[in-house]
Amino acid sequence: MDRQPVLTQISTMDALMSGGYDPVVPVKDLHRYGDFGIGTYERLDGEMVMLNDTLFQILLDGTARTASIPDSTPFAVITRFQPDTVLVPGKGMPLDSLKNGLGRILAARGVPCAVRISGSFENIRTRSVPPQAKPYPPLDEVVASRQKITDTAASTGDAVGTWFPPCMKNINVPGFHMHFISGDRKTGGHLFDCVLAGGRVELQTIGQFHMIMPPFAAVPAGADTDPMKKTTERAE
Ligand SMILES: [Zn+2]
């Protein structure tokens, strides 16, 4: 049996960017692909965090709840988290500095990585998005006009996410994409900024990539017109 770590992506980034918010995989089936990851929910109803095999849904107001079984996801990235590297950064590290340092390590590996940052955080800026109605607007429009930003002064918690190499820029967002969930698992969101007051970083190098294609009906017309470059830059 192949024991290499595998990163499974539900749907394509182009489909999501173009408004592909219809169900692709029921959340109850995500556990087949791992216990760790990020994504969103049907109709773009909030941000997804999967941590220790528990799925959280972070609603527009930044509150988190465990995902309910009837839910589905239009887009997610999931793996079985078995970190190969643990680092303890200096205290009071801004997220940008942390990303720069980690990015150099990960660029040398050149393959996707799963990233978990655990500890005490300050100046946490997150966002979430509300569920959309059909006809679904593209993701950049939702982010530009309907996202809600939440600022939290301090919290323990986990930042969960991925790093993709530049050579995969048409498959997922190159660089880091992190979602935050508080230590009490009650708040979180797509992570824009924070300071890691103290904690550790775990990295998992992943050499295999598995994609679950959306059914044709779930891909909006226009998803083949290459809206991706500008929309990923604006949305992430
Ligand atoms: Zn996100």
Q: State the distance from the centre of ligand 1 to the C-alpha of 180, rounded, in angstroms.
A: 9
**Ligand 1 centroid from CA 73, angstroms:** 13
The confidence score (pLDDT) of residue 170 equals: 85
Annotate 117-166 with DSSP letters as a single string: EEEEEEEEEEEE-----SSPPPHHHHHHHH-EEEEEEEEEEEEEEEEE-G
Whole-Å CA distances, 152 to 91, 99, 118, 181: 18, 20, 16, 12
| Predicted TM-score (pTM) of this structure | 0.93
> If you measure from the C-alpha of residue 1 to the centroid of ligand 1, how many angstroms do you get, rounded to a whole number?
33
- Dist. CA 139 → ligand 1 center (Å): 11
pLDDT, one tens digit per residue, over 38-84 is 999 999 999 999 999 999 999 999 999 999 878 899 999 999 999 99
Residue 53 has a pLDDT of 96
| Residue 215, helix vs strand vs coil | coil
Tell me the CA–centroid distance for residue 192 and ligand 1, in Å.
9
Tell me what pLDDT residue 37 has. 98
* DSSP per position, 63-110: BEEEPPTT-EESEEEEE----SEEE-PPTTEEHHHHHHHHHHHHHHH-
Rounded to the nearest 5 degrees, what angle is found at the Cα of 59, between the Cα atoms of 57 and 62?
110
Q: Supply the pLDDT for residue 216.
A: 75
Neighbours of ion ligand 1 (CB under 5 A): 190
Cα–ligand 1 centroid distance for 146 (angstroms): 14
- The pLDDT score that the predictor gives to residue 219 is 78
Q: Give the residue ranges of the chain where pLDDT is below 70.
A: 1-2, 222-236
One-letter identity of residue 117: I
Which residues neighbour 130 within 8 Å (Cβ) at sequence distance 6 or greater? 44, 45, 46, 60, 146, 148
Three-point CA angle 194, 192, 169, nearest 5°: 130
Q: How far is the CA of 85 from the centre of ligand 1 (A)?
A: 23
pLDDT of residue 1: 47
- Confidence (pLDDT) at 232: 57
Give the Å distance between the CA of 24 and the centre of ligand 1: 18
